[in-house]
Amino acid sequence: MSSTYIEAIRRALGDALAEDPRVFLYGQDIAGTFGGAFKATKGLAERFPGRVLNSPISEDGQAAVGIGAALAGCRPVIEFQFADFASVAFNQMVNHAATHWWRTGVPVPATFRLPAGGTPGGGPFHCQMVEGWLTSHPGLIVVAPATVGDAYHMLRDAIACDDPVAYLEHKHLYNHLRIDTDPSRAERLPLGKAAVRRAGRDCTVVSWSGMVHECLKAAEPLAEQGIEIEVIDLRCLRPLDTATVLASVERTGRLLVATESWPFGGVAAELCAWISEHGFSHLDAPPRRLSAQDTPVPFHPDLFRAHHPDAARIAAAVVETVEF
């Protein structure tokens, strides 16, 4: 049974609906034949009548309904058409969902699905990686699956979690990433655990979501030069599995964090700061970030490619780090 990334998400939603009557889906145009902007819910409304519901075009309202339903004992899955528009629901997610357990002792088991990441021609309102907005706030778990298996298992785990979860699914991976096996049988790591996707001795390269695959592409030409990188997929961005990263840096002595998000104040900056503070004695070179350009995401495909890191830029940054 083969599966694409988007099919794994659809499978996870269907399995959660089938197994737990408290689960329901709520989002813009997700019911009926349309099945959402990216078809993640296609066919689910027919299978589960009354539990796949269309919402108004109001991310703030969607999040509020989800929080209220979670407090009433449901396990809502809220779909935003694009992660960028989570900014409209920011107050609900970080000031209400993320804080409610700490204020009252009552959990908010809501999952917010955020189609994130860049595709050429998407422009500044439909291509952002928004984890930097969300990871600064205690109480909100933020995950970003990079594999088909993780797309399935991490969504199942998010729905089962008693904390609110922002689930960042990368749009480019939807139909470009496929495995030839059942995603539910893929390796299942705990929600907050990073994965070592490739072992190496010369430099630790950390990433998440779609950029993991660019790091793995960079590993091949680097190996031909005699440089073996260790590629770590964070998977979960809040909380961070700093122990796995630190253990790798202890072996390699070097750290590069690659992300398609912006350089200022993001996960890459936090991870470099943490390793500098807690693993300084193991470093043979300064920790380095490779990020998107510090501008809004451009629309033109050529400008988009210049804006985002790729395998060639990752490989060049690794060489500079190793030769420091």
Per-residue confidence band for 33, with pLDDT thresholds at 50, 70 and 90: confident
Cα angle at 137 between 135 and 143, to 5 degrees?
35
- Residue 89 pLDDT greater than 90, yes or no: yes
CA-only gyration radius of the chain, Å: 19
**pLDDT at site 1:** 80
Cα angle at 116 between 230 and 144, to 5 degrees?
40
With b for 16 or more beta-carbon neighbours within 10 A and e for fewer, the 203-241 pattern comes to bbbbbbbbbbbbbbebbeebeeeebebbbbbbbbbbebb
Q: Lowest-pLDDT range, 30-39, 149-158, 229-238?
A: 30-39
Beta-ladder partners of 204: 230, 255
- Residue 184 pLDDT greater than 90, yes or no: yes
Strands lying side by side in the sheet with 52-54: 52-54, 23-27, 75-79, 111-116, 165-170, 141-143, 236-238
**pLDDT at site 32:** 81
Structure tokens at 303: 């400008």
Answer CATH for 3-185 from 3.90.1560.10, 3.40.50.10190, 1.20.120.160, 3.40.50.970: 3.40.50.970
- Residue 122 pLDDT greater than 90, yes or no: no
- Residue 109 pLDDT greater than 90, yes or no: yes
**Composition of the chain by helix, strand, coil, percent to 5:** 40, 15, 40
**pLDDT at site 255:** 98
Query: Each residue of 246-277: pLDDT tens digit?
Result: 999 999 999 999 999 999 999 999 999 999 99
Cα angle at 187 between 83 and 132, to 5 degrees?
25
Query: Each residue of 2-13: pLDDT tens digit?
Result: 999 999 999 999
Query: What is the model's pTM?
Result: 0.96
Structure tokens at 152: 């399935």
User: What residue spans in the chain does CATH classification 3.40.50.920 cover?
Assistant: 195-322
State whether residue 75 is helix, strand or coil.
strand
Beta-ladder partners of 311: none
Query: Each residue of 206-241: pLDDT tens digit?
Result: 999 999 999 999 999 999 999 999 999 999 999 999
Cβ atoms 138, 239 nearer than 8 A: no
**Residues designated as active site:** 59, 126
**pLDDT at site 121:** 85
User: What residue spans in the chain does CATH classification 3.40.50.970 cover?
Assistant: 3-185
Cβ atoms 148, 177 nearer than 8 A: yes
**pLDDT at site 192:** 94
Q: What is the DSSP string of 96-117?
A: IIHHHHHHHS-----EEEEEES
Query: Each residue of 295-324: pLDDT tens digit?
Result: 999 999 999 999 999 999 999 999 999 999
Q: Which CATH architecture describes the domain 195-322?
A: 3-Layer(aba) Sandwich (3.40)
